[in-house]
Structure 1
Amino acid sequence: MKYRKFFFIAVLMFSPIIAEAQCSMCRAVLESETDQSAAEGINNGIVYLMAFPYILIGGIGYFIYRSRKKDKSI
């Protein structure tokens, strides 16, 4: 059970690295340039901004789960 949690957390931590989060308009404008470093920077920024709401919601969900579990054990 402990390894399953570790594997799940590791998959969630490394999944934004391989995600491509650009919208079609951003991709079209950035791919027309010869230098691809700007496109990579924009993509990394989008993924970075996308991760924090999921982390916050996950933290709140964990807090609620933990508080309900404590209440049931008492």
Structure 2
Amino acid sequence: MKRVLLFTLCFLLLGIGNTFAQCAMCRSTLENNFSNGNPGVGAGINTGILYLLVMPYLAVIILGYFWLKSSRNAQQELSGRTSSR
């Protein structure tokens, strides 16, 4: 269990450098806004990109946690029934 969490954490941390990259269309939009004197749009777009990146991973982690918790509870309940006989 701890190995899986450690592997996942390392995988996510190694991928952090790539999260600041942008697609060509986003980059051209940001360059146009920056040349017009509005650099604040770039921070908003970068935050939105990071938000969209994190949400699927967060959903999988939460679902995996609840699945693991229910699996362990079912296993403990099953072992409790067999030891009482």
Q: TM-score, normalised by structure 1?
A: 0.59
Q: Which residue of 2 aligns with 1:22?
A: 22
Q: TM-score, normalised by structure 2?
A: 0.53
Q: Deviations over 1:29-55 (max 9, x none)?
A: 31343343322x211111112222221
Q: Which residue of 1 aligns with 2:41?
A: 38
- Cα distance between partner residues in 1 of 2:66 and 2:21: 29
RMSD: 3.3
Q: Alignment identity in percent?
A: 35
Runs of 4 or more above 6 Å deviation: none
1:68 to 58, 66, 71: 71
Ranked by relative contact order (alpha carbons within 8 Å, sequence separation 6 or more), the top structure is: 1
Gaps of 5+ in 2: 79-85
